[in-house]
Chains A and B, each alone.
Chain A
């Protein structure tokens, strides 16, 4: 959304927010401004409906979680309202083995994902948080309303955390119908609503849970991230604890596609707006949680011919790299750009659909999230 045709890559890191601006060719990069120094920033997103507006999910170890907004591409930021855990006397308890009927007050922990709503709701955004919470604002973050159908979901007493906590990390909205949305929760799985969030149904059929006695339960899948195909909003690409999957029917059924890769563990997935039918995964070693075999690995899934393409070899970027669930993003240019941020602070870029890669020459703090503000 940069008027000069430049691309902005927005990074949430262990020590703050970074805006990285690249030219239209995505060869030259300028780092800055930086903000939220010292805070864990789990997600930064540009509002495509209002160029220049950015939102950040800031998790400060001292002062707790905060939503911050910039109106000028990150030059200055202001705290807006922070949603709160619905502490209610009759709230369904989460964990209290000694007295299962006693309510357990649990404060809002970390903020994980901010998703602008569609263009027909220009003031609305959604926010996913820990412990398994979903909020909506209708006034650009001045106030938040809890989505009680998730926050007090009757199944919640059985929802366990993943290693990252009880995070609600994926929020996807059908561009044809804003009442149809999808969310992903660790370690619960994916859900779909058809009525604007009044009711949610689990949609995890076919996704294996190798860590549970029941290998194909209705919920309990540790979904790591999901991307919607830009050309077909009924198609989704999923990186799950149990492997890489695709669904072609609004998540009603999932098919594992990652088996040809061997270990198809990972955290992130992205699908480019300008190249429907493609999805990008960073393959990790399932035990070590870093790229296996001693080098950085990105794989392209082509959903049209159902084939994988390996984009990088052992000589490109040797090492063991961690990449988190928001750690990959794509732009909407042709050819499309792919951006991957690592937990050790490297930002890898391909400006031509994965054929050639380079590294932005700047050492960032460990990167939690990568997103893109596309040129106008």
Chain B
């Protein structure tokens, strides 16, 4: 199972802690999260499927947001961290 860590801001939209989930890609993992927590829909991705600008997805500590993104393949045992950048002003 994947171990999924969501930052505290995302808990406003449903998940109240870390999650154990199964998925074969980052995109499918987000699909599963949205299925379980409908209020997460369109918060991590827009309706074209692209990650939102300030969302960062780390797979075993590596930021894949700007590289393979939602297409990143998963074997099923990774640790996934989904965070928001600190930004604004």
Contacts and interface: CB of A to CB of B under 8 A. Distances in A.
B85 to A, nearest CB: 8
A367 to B, nearest CB: 17
- Nearest first, the 9 A-B pairs at minimum CB distance are A107-B46, A105-B48, A63-B43, A84-B47, A62-B54, A107-B48, A62-B84, A107-B47, A85-B47
A105 B53 CA distance: 16
19 contacts: A62-B9, A62-B54, A62-B55, A62-B84, A62-B87, A63-B42, A63-B52, A64-B52, A79-B39, A82-B42, A84-B47, A85-B47, A87-B48, A105-B48, A107-B46, A107-B48, A107-B50, A108-B46, A108-B47
Interface residues of B, number: 16
Interface string B35-58: 000010011001110101111000
Contacts of A38: 88
A356 interface: no
A84 B41 CA distance: 11
Given A61-B54, A61-B87, 11 more contacts: A38-B88, A62-B54, A62-B84, A63-B52, A64-B46, A64-B52, A87-B47, A87-B48, A106-B48, A107-B46, A107-B47
B13 to A, nearest CB: 8
A108 B13 CA distance: 20
User: Is chain B's binding surface mostly helix, strand, loop or mixed?
Assistant: loop
Contacts of A62: 9, 43, 52, 54-55, 84, 87
Interface string A32-72: 00000010000000000000000000000111100000000
Contact of A64 (B42, B87, B88): B42
Contacts of B13: 63
Contacts of B54: 61-62
Nearest to B40: A63
Contacts of A85: 47-48
Contacts of A105: 48
A260 to B, nearest CB: 40
A64 B39 contact: no
Name, among A64, A84, A108, the residue most crowded by chain B CB atoms within 10 Å (CB to CB). Answer: A64
Interface string A15-30: 0000000000000000
Nearest to B54: A62
A331 to B, nearest CB: 34
Nearest to B50: A107
A360 B25 CA distance: 53
A333 to B, nearest CB: 38
B37 to A, nearest CB: 13
A84 B42 contact: yes
Contacts of A87: 47-48
Interface in A151-172: none
Contacts of B88: 38, 61
Contacts of A108: 46-47
A375 to B, nearest CB: 35
Contacts of B46: 64, 107-108
Interface in B1-51: 9, 13, 39, 42-43, 46-48, 50
Interface string A73-85: 0000001001011
Contacts of B43: 62-64
Nearest to B55: A62
B79 to A, nearest CB: 22
B40 to A, nearest CB: 9
B81 to A, nearest CB: 16
Query: Of residues A62, A82, A108, which shows the largest number of chain B Cβ atoms within 10 Å of its Cβ?
Result: A62
Contacts of B55: 62
Nearest to B13: A63
A81 to B, nearest CB: 10
A63 B39 CA distance: 11
Contacts of B48: 85, 87, 105-107
A1 B87 CA distance: 38
A108 B88 CA distance: 20
A244 to B, nearest CB: 34
A56 to B, nearest CB: 17
